[in-house]
Amino acid sequence: MAKIKLFCSNSLRGALTDLIPAFERASGHQVEISYDPAKVMMERIGRGETADAVIIGGEAIDQLAKQGKVAAGSKRAFASCGIGVAVKAGAKKPDIASVEAFKRALLGAKSIAWTQQGASGIYFSGLIERLGIASEVRPKAAQQPGGLIAEQLVQGKADLAIQQIPELMAVPGAELVGPLPKEIQQVTASSAGIFAASQNAKAAEELLAFLTSPASKTVLKAKGLEPA
């Protein structure tokens, strides 16, 4: 039995909450997961933190492989997801079907939650600039560095939450309105890899094989992810 340490981006939290216990029962291994926004995770790895496996954006895996931190040839495509909008369960869902409707929804909201360091939050900050509504939207911000931003909805601190769809779906009491309009959507593809310094590489490989199995892909899809 091995204890596998896994670094993982926040977008996979909802799916892995279901999948990891199933893997532990099937394999006898234990998995210790550390979740963070991709930017924060890369900073941690840059400071010397390590694990057995990592699931993060594909470009980040390539960067870690070039640095010799992820084993060459261990990269495998995992899943992708887009950014969406959520409201508190039971609240009226705004029309976000077009770019103009999305802009009206943002301008009509009293408060809007997005992260400061997460990929979706960084993208959204730039998006409102491009849409020409930053000066109206920024004063409505209900922000936190990372984590599941839809918790702000449940706590009554925001009317709308903007984040990657699986993260929105992972919050009980939040309800997905839908994805951003395709013209302004950003899809993030994640990949997995094994750390070069892992002492449990074989067990980590078993974990990644389980997480990319057909049965696991069904769970990923149900949690708002598009399996690779």
- pLDDT per residue as tens digits for the range 23-46: 999 999 999 999 998 888 999 999
Asked if 7 contacts 43 with a C-beta cutoff of 8 angstroms, the reply is no
Confidence of residue 58 (pLDDT cuts 50, 70, 90): confident
For residue 118, pLDDT over 90 is answered with no
Residue 122 to residue 101: CA distance in whole angstroms: 21
Q: What percent of the chain has pLDDT over 70?
A: 100
Mean pLDDT of the region 163-185: 97
Mean pLDDT of the region 8-15: 90
**Domains present along the chain, CATH in parentheses:** 3-80+189-227 (3.40.190.10), 83-184 (3.40.190.10)
Q: What percent of the chain has pLDDT over 90?
A: 90
> How do strand 188-194 and strand 53-57 relate by DSSP bridges?
antiparallel
Tokens of 72: 């060459």
Tokens of 220: 């990923």
